[in-house]
Amino acid sequence: MKWFKIMLYLCSIVCANIITSATQPFHWGIFIIPAGTFIIGATFIFRDLVQQAIGRRHTYLVILTALLLSGVSSYILGDTLWITAASAATFVLSETVDTEVFTRLRASVVKRVMVSGLAGGTVDSAVFVIIGLSPLGAGFLPWEAVPMAILGQMLVKGILQLLGAACISMMHMKSEPTIRA
């Protein structure tokens, strides 16, 4: 089961790169959201499941593997150097935040998944948009669009964290023995 979780995490990283590279961002009201955001939001949940299965130290090895796969897939897809560099920097920062919050938070696994994913997703959204998409980086977005791009990604990732935490909560309820009177 732990290998399935690891493969799910690694595949989700590559799929997010492919979808983001192949699809134009869409507008949802005032928000700008790359299509890969939906998968990236789920990767934080998958990473937490990996950490729960193999521990923090080994999770960092899986994160390193995912970083390498992400870089290779970005290169193969022809992403610009700015996008590839922004993706790598974002990945290292956001995955580290997620891992460390998940490790240090003393709460149920459901709450740890929720809080660590929100923290990692916030870092992921802000860093990628600012380094990769703003005039500071590749220049795909003007400065006035940057806040809505960040908020749009944070919204999608937050919703996915809520859904993921709810699914994990339901799985834990089903696995706990029922006490009958």
The secondary structure element, H or E, covering residue 71 is: helix 56-76
pLDDT at 171: 86
Give CA–CA dist 142/97, Å, rounded: 27
pLDDT at 26: 86
Beta bridge pairs of residue 116: none
Task: Out of 1.10.10, 1.10.3470, 1.10.1760, 2.30.29, select the CATH number for domain 2-173.
Answer: 1.10.1760
Instruction: Classify each residue of 111-124 as buried b or exposed e, where b means 16 or more C-beta atoms within 10 Å of its C-beta.
Output: ebbbbbbbbbbbbb
The secondary structure element, H or E, covering residue 114 is: helix 109-127
pLDDT < 50: residue spans in the chain: 179-181
Span 74-87, pLDDT tens digits: 889 888 888 888 88
pLDDT at 181: 46
